[in-house]
Amino acid sequence: MAAKTFTECIDFVLEQEGGFSLNPSDPGNWTSGRVGSGQLKGTNMGIAACAFPELDIKNLTRSKAEEIYRSRYWSQVGGDVLPTGDDLVVFDFAVNSGPLMAAKSFRKTKSKKQSSVEIIQTISAERLSFLHTLQCWPRFGKGWGKRIAACEARALMMLSQSSLDSPLPGHVRNVRRKASREKALAGTAVIVSSTVAVAGPSFLSEAGIWIVIGAIPCLAAAGIFGLSAWRQSQRVSASLSEVKKLEVSNNVASTPGKPAT
C-alpha cells in the first residue's frame, strides 16, 4: 500500500516548498490574496495566507502542515492506493496545479496501460507542458522545471527501492542521450539560420529576401531544441542526484553500521 510512502512524499514536497516567507509584494502572503489588502501573514511550508487566512502562518507546525496536505491533496488524489512512485508525481502535481488536474492526468496515463516508469515520465512531461502555458512561466519556469525534474527522479528512486530492478540508471542514460541530441539539433539550427541570414542579402533579387525570411523558422527551431536540451540537462542533474542517494542507501543497507560517505 502506498499509504506507507506518505512520509517520504511529504518530505519531498516540504523540501521543495521551503520555510517561512513574508514578502509583501507576493499577493499569496496576504489574507485577501491582494497586495496591501487584509493581513500580511506570509507563506510557510507552502501553506499561504491567501488560502488559509485564519491560520497563524508564522508559527505553523509541521504536523499541522502535514494534516492540511493530507486532507487537501493526498486524499483527494487517492494517495493511499496509488502505486509507489506514481503517488509522488501525482501528489506533487496536485500541490502545484490542483488535485483535479493531477488525478485526471493519472487516469488518462493509466488507461494507456503503461509501465510505472512510463507513467512517472509521462505525468512529469504533461505537468511541465501545462506550466509552459502559464503567463508567469518566464518568471518561475526555471524553478518549476527543476522541481519537476527532481520529482520525477525521486519517484523513480522510490520505485527502485520497492523493486529488485532499478530503473534509474537506464533513465539517466536515456535522458543524457536525448539532451545531447537536442543540443546538437539546436546547434545545427543556429548554424543554418546564421548561414542563410548572411548569404541572403548577397542575392540582389526577390529570392534573396525569401532566403532571409527562411532563416526565421531555423532560429525558432534552435530556440525550441535549446530549451529542450536545457530541460533534459535538468533531468540528468536531478536523476544523478537521486542515483547517488540510492547508491548510498543501498551501501548502508548492505553493510549495517557503516556510515554513509
Percent of the chain having pLDDT more than 90? 40
66 Cβ neighbours under 8 A, 6+ residues apart:
10
Cβ(80)–Cβ(66) below 8 Å: no
Residue 136 has pLDDT above 50, yes or no: yes
142 Cβ neighbours under 8 A, 6+ residues apart:
none
pLDDT digits (tens, 9 = 90+) for 165-188: 556 556 666 655 655 665 565 555
- Can you give the pLDDT at residue 160? 77
Instruction: Please state, as a whole number, how many other Cβ atoms lie within 10 Å of the Cβ of residue 31.
Output: 19
Cβ(34)–Cβ(27) below 8 Å: yes
pLDDT digits (tens, 9 = 90+) for 137-156: 888 888 888 899 889 888 98
Helix (H, G, I), strand (E, B) or coil at 131: helix
pTM over 0.95: no
Please state, in angstroms and rounded to a whole number, the distance separating the CA atoms of residues 252 and 136: 43
- Can you give the pLDDT at residue 60? 96
Helix (H, G, I), strand (E, B) or coil at 110: helix
- Can you give the pLDDT at residue 185? 54
Residue 71 corresponds to which cell in the numbers above? Answer: 486532507
pLDDT level of residue 31 (50, 70, 90 thresholds): very high
The helix-helix angle for 86-97 and 99-110 (nearest 10°) equals: 140
Residue 254 has pLDDT above 50, yes or no: no
Helix (H, G, I), strand (E, B) or coil at 64: helix
Please state, in angstroms and rounded to a whole number, the distance separating the CA atoms of residues 85 and 120: 7
Please state, in angstroms and rounded to a whole number, the distance separating the CA atoms of residues 216 and 223: 11
Q: Which residue has the cell 543556429?
A: 190
- Can you give the pLDDT at residue 134? 87
Going from N- to C-terminal start, the domains of the chain cover: 168-261
Percent of the chain having pLDDT more than 70? 61
